[in-house]
Amino acid sequence: MADCLFCQIVARRIPTEIVAEADGLLAFKDVNPQAPTHILIIPTEHIPTLVDATQAHTTLMGNALHLANRLARSYQLTSSGFRVVINCGPEAGQSVWHLHLHLLGGRPLRWPPG
């Protein structure tokens, strides 16, 4: 999608600190980090929101969680803990309409979120 920011990142048209690429997924550092580790995991395919993910995306979504697991290990977050978040829709604060998982860690994370 030409007008999608994250599709532009997938196409390498916007410079980004990419940390992993595998299984139809790209992981890169969030430009506005909310924790010492804040990584976004996106499908390279344009899927606007979690609501648009279908049964055909089951493996992709499983791989996204597995990549979050792998990155949490490589950023040494597993002992202290970490959070994986998908904001879906306006009231959840979704601002980029390309499905993404946030991997957050490296500081205490409050619950419930604001």
**Enzyme catalytic residues:** 100
What is the spatial distance between Cα 21 and Cα 68, in angstroms, rounded to a whole number? 12
Amino acid identity of residue 50, one-letter, is: L
Exactly one of 36, 81, 93, 113 binds ligand DGP (CB under 6 A); that residue is 93
Q: Is the peptide bond before 112 cis (omega within 30 degrees of 0)?
A: yes
Q: Shortest gap between Cβ of 30 and ligand DGP (angstroms)?
A: 5
The answer to whether residue 7 forms part of the interface with ligand DGP (CB under 6 A) is no
* Selected range binding ligand DGP among 26-34, 47-55, 66-74, 105-113, rule: CB under 6 A: 26-34
Alpha carbon dihedral 101, 105, 108, 81, in 10-degree steps, equals: 90
Joined together, the tokens standing for residue 7 give: 């599709």
- The site that binds ligand DGP (CB under 6 A) totals a number of residues, namely 14
> How far from chain centre, in Å, is Cα 64?
8
Q: Return the residue of 32, 54, 55, 79 that touches ligand DGP, per CB under 6 A.
A: 32
Which segment (42-50, 65-73, 92-100, 103-111) binds ligand DGP by CB under 6 A? 92-100
